């Protein structure tokens, strides 16, 4: 179980806090969805939850234990927005083993099959894959480390309708084994697989019922 308690992020150069007393609880094998407009603090929150940034105050707990930034790095795997832009391995195998040369071929194969890429050659170039395959590879790069918590920043951004649908199905499958926290400005088809939802506005996180949001999305639009 992930708990965030009164998390505040307020760099001294900023007139107001970027994250304002954020409280959140996420149970294992659930998919939490945070929806917020551009600039609301989504990526900043994921940076804290992946140990890349330290909160000004407040705490992150996993089960009953409060975590320091370096412990959070072990716990969480962050998939950046447009992760394919950060690929630096010349082959799929190199990409998966970056920073973990000790990982055996079984872990490599397991990570690829988790994301449905087991049929690809390990010597294929990451940049030669389709957009949807690249997103899957970026997920495998984090899953191979077997993090307790998978963090995804706008996972469907820039994908066409069918690739988006495939990725949403994959996330629905992954949450059977992993705990996922997804941030997006456009809930769209991610709402269907969310177990709990929050909105984030100007750094303020509020819990919302996914069913209420789903009903809103499905409401017929008034004729103009
Ligand atoms: N270290 C920092 N110092 C000052 N301002 C920052 C810092 N980090 C983020 N910000 C500001 O905090 C706000 C939130 O940024 P963040 O990138 O988290 O938003 P976001 O919700 O991810 O937006 P987008 O949807 O555009 O990706 C922005 O106004 C950004 O300029
Ligand atoms: Mg962002």
- Any ligand 1 atom below 6 A from CB of 184: no
- For residue 221, name the pLDDT band (cuts at 50, 70, 90): low
- For residue 219, name the pLDDT band (cuts at 50, 70, 90): low
Average the pLDDT over 141-145 and give the result.
Answer: 95
- Any ligand 1 atom below 6 A from CB of 165: no
Nearest CA to ligand 1 atom 9: 44
Using DSSP's 3-state secondary structure scheme, residue 90 falls into coil
User: What pLDDT, on a 0 to 100 scale, did the predictor assign at position 84?
Assistant: 94
Q: Percent of the chain scored above 90 by pLDDT?
A: 83
Q: Which helix (H) or strand (E) holds 106?
A: helix 105-114
Using DSSP's 3-state secondary structure scheme, residue 216 falls into helix
* Nearest CA among 57, 50, 56, 43 for reference residue 2: 50
User: What pLDDT, on a 0 to 100 scale, did the predictor assign at position 100?
Assistant: 87
The pLDDT of residue 43 is above 90: yes
The angle that helices 105-114 and 131-143 make with each other, rounded to 10 degrees, is 130
On whether the CB atoms of residues 48 and 57 are closer than 8 A, the answer is: no
- The Cα 53–Cα 25 span in angstroms is 20
Q: Which residue has the higher pLDDT, 30 or 213?
A: 30
The pLDDT of residue 110 is above 90: yes
Instruction: Domains for the chain: give ranges and CATH numbers.
Output: 2-218 (3.40.50.300)
Q: Which residue has the higher pLDDT, 221 or 213?
A: 213
- Any ligand 1 atom below 6 A from CB of 28: no
The pLDDT of residue 220 is above 80: no
CA 133 to chain centre: 17
């Amino acid at each position: 179980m992930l708990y965030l308690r009164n998390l505040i992020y307020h760099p001294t150069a900023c007139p107001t806090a970027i994250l304002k007393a954020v409280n959140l609880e996420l149970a294992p094998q659930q998919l939490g969805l945070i929806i917020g407009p551009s600039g609301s603090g989504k990526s900043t929150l994921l940076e804290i939850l992946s140990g890349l940034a330290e909160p000004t105050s407040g705490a992150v707990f996993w089960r009953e234990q409060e975590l320091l930034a370096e412990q959070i790095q072990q716990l969480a795997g962050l998939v950046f927005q447009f992760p394919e832009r950060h690929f630096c391995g010349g082959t799929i195998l190199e990409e998966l083993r970056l920073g973990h040369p000790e990982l055996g071929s079984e872990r490599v194969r397991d990570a690829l099959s988790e994301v449905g890429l087991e049929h690809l050659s390990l010597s294929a170039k990451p940049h030669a894959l389709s957009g949807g395959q690249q997103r899957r590879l970026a997920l495998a790069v984090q899953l191979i480390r077997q993090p307790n918590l998978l963090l995804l920043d706008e996972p469907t951004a820039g994908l066409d309708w069918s690739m988006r649908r495939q990725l949403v199905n994959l996330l629905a499958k992954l949450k059977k084994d992993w705990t996922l926290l997804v941030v997006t400005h456009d809930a769209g088809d991610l709402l269907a697989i969310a177990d709990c939802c929050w909105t984030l506005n100007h750094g303020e996180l509020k819990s919302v019922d996914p069913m209420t949001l789903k009903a809103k999305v499905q409401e017929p639009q008034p004729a103009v």
